[in-house]
Chain A
Amino acid sequence: MLKTFAKGGVHPPENKLSASRPIESLPLPQTVSIPLSQHIGAPPAPLVQKNDQVKTGQLIARGEGFVSASIHSSVTGKVVKLEEVMDAGGYRRPAVTIQVGEDEWMPEIDTSPGLIKEFDLSGKDIIEKVKEAGIVGMGGATFPSHVKMSVPRGKKAELLIINGVECEPWLTSDHRLMLEKGEELLVGIRLIMKALQVEKALIGIENNKPDAIEHLSGLCLGEKGISVVPLKVKYPQGGEKQLIKALTAREVPSGGLPIDVATVVHNVGTAFAVYEAVQKKKPLIERVVTVTGPSVKKPCNFLVRTGTPVSHLIEAAGGLPDDTGKIVSGGPMMGKALNSLQVPVTKGTSGILILPESMSVRKPVLPCIRCSRCIFVCPMGLEPYLLMTLSEKKMTEKMEKEHVMDCIECGSCSYICPSNRPLLDYIRLGKAQVNQLIRSRKK
């Protein structure tokens, strides 16, 4: 029996069309727009002005404060605008727009392909380098990685978990990275282990990627303390809490963090970025992005510089299909629908999913038939049908008592409901109401 998490979960059709497509470097676009806030912290002030020349990898905004990440230019060229652009969530964010010229990297960055295995650094140094390189969680939440690599006082980390689950249907960027950059990845994992002072790391990979499991298991043979664990395919196994449960049977307490059960979770993309940052002095300015969808001509995995407009990726994948109804940044379960093709790729963009009109329209909502399916699939043990009703009636306190804040917004409930009820939409509203209530109490 393969391991998986115990409670709930769904298994949508996997549709990993681009799984066998090697990572290709995407030609540079004419301009890039790099949003200054690519993480959940406050946006830093830009260090460049209009008409400045910048080089690839040059720092253009320094993360202020602890929970904040630095931003680097992903191209060489001239700063043409310091204006707001629309991000994937539909918000306007301050950004630096650069007209792309001849690619010239900062001199200290090692752009040679060679693998550098050895390092002789303290944990502190590693964390400092990760912070300088502006690395954030690349699975989508984009939380600054150096914060997650610094164990808070009074806590202890025992185990590093590397998330190679890629449980979202359609996406294959992590899969390709594991296949093509396995050795670099393992060095990255060693670096994170050193920073956390742990002796053991587990790489969790779902069983629908047997080639990645085999490849990394082979590489792990020579590595002390690192092993690959194949997992049964089940969404949302890539959720931190679900992954920890699947691998260690430990349950992160309600309202707690992984470190409360002595574990830290990092995504494979992040581990690779840590390798490049520490061993190659390369800041996080590019990432692998899957471009896919039922009508996409050439589903692909591209190595893309941050700030590249989504339209550029879609062109390279064969152009926008005629039947396009919706474009999602990220996977179909948790991704965000874009309202413009000019939205730039950021550090957290794992994929661009182009859905045809027929898959973009929601089906008509019927009354709840109390079939329990939403309860059975909720990985957090909540009662989505009840939370939706409470949210509709604005019964905020009751919602808090029903633990609406435990919801990880995985969307399994809305996915499964035979009455097509928009459960998660209402639960999100409910969470916002409860958040307000909690804030008003603190005043």
Chain B
Amino acid sequence: MDKLLRVSYSPHIHGENSVPRLMWGVIASLVPAFVLSVLYFGLGAILVTATSVLSCVLFEYLIQRFIMKVPPTVNDGSAVVTGVLLAFCLPATIPLWLVALGALVAIGVGKMSFGGLGSNPFNPALVGRVFLFISFPVQLTSWPLPMGFKTKLVDAATGATPLGVIKEGLLNNQQVPPLMDDIPSHMQLFYGNMNGSMGEVAAMALLLGFIYMVVKKIIPPVIPLTILGTVFVFTGILWLANPESNADPLFHLLTGGVMLGAIYMATDYVTSPMTKKGMVVFGVGIGVITVLIRRFGSYPEGVQFAILIMNAFVPLINSWFKPKRFGEEVQHG
């Protein structure tokens, strides 16, 4: 009864996880934020997201097929994730050709030029976003007012983001407490009812996605918690020291891109550290740099730069912060 048997080394079973499963898990967790952004910004949110996702997938396919000449791997879902995240940090009324250009830079420069998934040092979506921000500052900072499906696709009514209002005011020697009157209440900020990038506004939805990913064990909670904690503590200290020229810590958590950045951009597997200790260092670094830029830099928001800067330190962090080995202290003791 001898038949041909397969022979390979142990282990002979494999867990449920796969790259597509993880990536689609991330995408599923982004659905609430997407729904809210459509409610706030209408058709524009749908068009920008669709354009971004389709461009990312298409560019990845074309580059793999015709330039790198490797079998395309677009169905692993990673290009879709990049597409959604890129869209989420853009204004909902941005011209669609700019979205496609951003996608090209994100995938082409941010990911494929380094060899594709797993080899890129910087978060591709952020590479695309920062490129657009530097090259097209006006379009990238025209934030539509959240008027739902009444938001016009062109020439929409725009206004500064809450962070922008504060920054502008401080530059004009105004004080923070009166400026707060022009800004929606903290509860409104939590729901995401404010001017801003389409997927960044709704802290509530992003936190829901975070909980989903942690429960489903898609990401460990370390990085988001340390970033948000650091921002909270650092801005809290500034605020206690001088409430006249600093916004309160809750305001800082609920505005700008810090939620999206902490939960989705900084947790990108490829571009974040490998050990828990390393993740803490990485998260604290991002939190500190974000607050420094917000408070003392010339831009109102700094989380994207903070993440990219810390991305560059990841190889160093990985070689410094090793996991604790079984039986190691005993050996040295």
Contact = CB atoms under 8 A, between A and B. Distances in A.
The judgment on whether A and B are partners is yes
B178 interface: no
Given A339-B7, A370-B118, A418 B274 contact: no
Interface in B185-243: 220
A415 B22 contact: no
Interface stretch (A20-28, A46-54, A181-189, A253-261): A253-261
Given A241-B327, A381-B323, A332 B275 contact: no
A418 B6 contact: no
B15 A416 contact: yes
Given A254-B331, A403-B325, A406-B326, A419 B19 contact: yes
A414 B5 CA distance: 21
B233 to A, nearest CB: 25
B327 A254 contact: yes
B324 interface: yes
B6 A256 contact: no
B274 A12 contact: no
Contact of A382 (B10, B272, B323): B323
Interface of A: 7, 10, 12, 90, 169, 241, 245, 251-256, 261, 311, 320, 324-328, 330, 332-342, 353, 355, 357, 359-363, 366-373, 375-376, 378-383, 385, 403, 406, 409, 411, 414-420, 422, 424-425, 428
Interface of B: 1-3, 5-15, 17-19, 21-22, 73, 76, 78, 116-119, 220, 269-270, 272, 274-275, 322-331
30 contacts: A7-B326, A90-B7, A169-B13, A241-B327, A252-B327, A253-B327, A253-B331, A254-B330, A254-B331, A324-B5, A326-B12, A327-B5, A330-B10, A332-B10, A334-B11, A336-B10, A337-B8, A339-B7, A359-B13, A362-B14, A367-B119, A370-B272, A372-B275, A380-B325, A383-B274, A383-B323, A411-B10, A414-B14, A420-B14, A422-B9
Contacts of A414: 11, 14
A234 to B, nearest CB: 14
Contacts of A373: 17
B177 to A, nearest CB: 44
A416 B17 contact: yes
Contacts of A418: 17-19, 21-22
Given A369-B270, A380-B325, A415 B2 contact: no
A336 B12 CA distance: 9
B6 A420 contact: no
A119 to B, nearest CB: 36
Nearest to A337: B7
Nearest to B328: A254
Contact of B5 (A253, A339, A382, A415): A339
A47 B12 CA distance: 38
B12 A335 contact: yes
B55 to A, nearest CB: 22
A12 B326 contact: no
Contact of B326 (A326, A361, A381): A381
Contact of A367 (B3, B118, B220, B326): B118
A341 B118 contact: no
Given A370-B270, A380-B325, A324 B3 contact: yes
Given A341-B1, A366-B73, A332 B274 contact: no
B326 A380 contact: yes
B275 to A, nearest CB: 6
Lowest 3 CB-CB distances: which A-B pairs, in order? Answer: A411-B11, A367-B118, A381-B325
B274 A375 contact: yes
B274 A338 contact: no
B6 A337 contact: yes
B331 A333 contact: no
A282 B5 CA distance: 36
Contacts of A339: 5, 7
A385 to B, nearest CB: 7
Given A326-B7, A355-B12, A420 B117 contact: no
A143 B3 CA distance: 32
Contacts of A419: 18-19, 118
B3 A320 contact: yes
A403 B323 CA distance: 12
> In this complex, which of A254, A368, A378 has the most chain B Cβ atoms within 10 angstroms of its Cβ?
A254
A363 B7 CA distance: 15
Contacts of A382: 323, 325
A369 B7 contact: no
A362 B13 CA distance: 9
Nearest to A368: B118
